[in-house]
Amino acid sequence: MDIPGLPARKAALKLLDAVLRRGETLDQVASNALQGLRSPADRALARALSGEVLRWLVDLDAPIDSATRQILPHDAKPRMVLRLMLAGWLRLDTPPHAVIATGLPLLTGGPRRLAHGVFSTLVKRGVRLPAAPTLPEAVAARWGERGDCIAAGLALPPPLDLTLRDPAETALWVERLGGVSLLPGHVRLPRGTAIEDLPGFSEGAWWVQDLAASLPARLLGPGEGRRVLDLCAAPGGKSLQLAAAGWRVTALDASAKRLERMQQNLARTGLEAEMIAADALMWEPPAPFDAVLLDAPCTATGTCRRHPDVLHRIGARQIAEMAELQAALLSRSVTWVKPGGRLIYATCSLEPEEGEAQAATVGLTPDPIRADELPAGLAPAANGWLRTDPAMLPEHGGLDGFFIARWRA
């Protein structure tokens, strides 16, 4: 007999196993893990359950360990299932009887009895989660004093941000979509919105892009027909912004497949960009550009609100590897800017090695970011660099973590 909700939990278990045992990303394994789920609701449930487990992992493991005679191995299946059961109860408000009915079939024999006993004990105790997730020990050590503030921004999944093709229509789309705007050309909607069903999607009036991710391209201002190079451009949100702002865009990315997705977005929005599939470490432009935007490959720890797997996959090795690549890309980028032109460097990482440490090596003239270029509530550092993190703008639902710096050649 089919048990409603059980297939989604089986898929969530696959997602967790891939992240916590094999170190893969949620996005990498999602298509395979979710392919057997027929309904969008089941796919959304699997992603929600796995995401909540990864976001609150430390705080889910603590009560589990308090209710077992022997500590279960970190990757033991009963522990994985108990994490899912507790996340369903404590985060998704699933009634305990429904949690038991859909969780226990994931196990057999002794592990099933163990999970039943532990979960029932924790329900009787009335366990609760803290107000904000506890960061994994290694992450807390890396982020130091910032960690507590950042963790407060992880308690809820992020809202949905849209960037408008025409900022002059901001008020129109705020009204049509029932959202709020934190900046001209931006609309924010509650999470869980079905994107393809929203007004304006089919006609390309907007695209999905976190508010923080939209700032680097905004900081180049109007293009007025000038040429800009968008490095590591796919899937293309920044190229779309630049084209909409009047720049003649050359979008370069090493992944032809990701550029295909970008082409689809260009076609939907009616915007234009020259796309080049090439390795930026090998490619040479025929002439320098009026502006270069390098949103460099990074560990993406700044996206931990929507991709909580980064809290458990990223460590010193990955940060060092990305920093080495970023340094190489930056050293080439500075030579591709015309005299008087602008360079912007950005990463969606919370690690100083990928932000401040990289910016400190650039020998161009600083072009400090100004507070009046940013949403209310954000401010640049004294040196004109900008760092955002998930705890900022809490009254509006936060934003991703980014580092951005700007120079003139």
Mark whether 149 is an active-site residue.
no
Of the residues 232, 298, 304, 348, only one is catalytic, namely 348
Give the pairing of strands 274-277 and 248-253.
parallel
Residues recognised as catalytic? 348
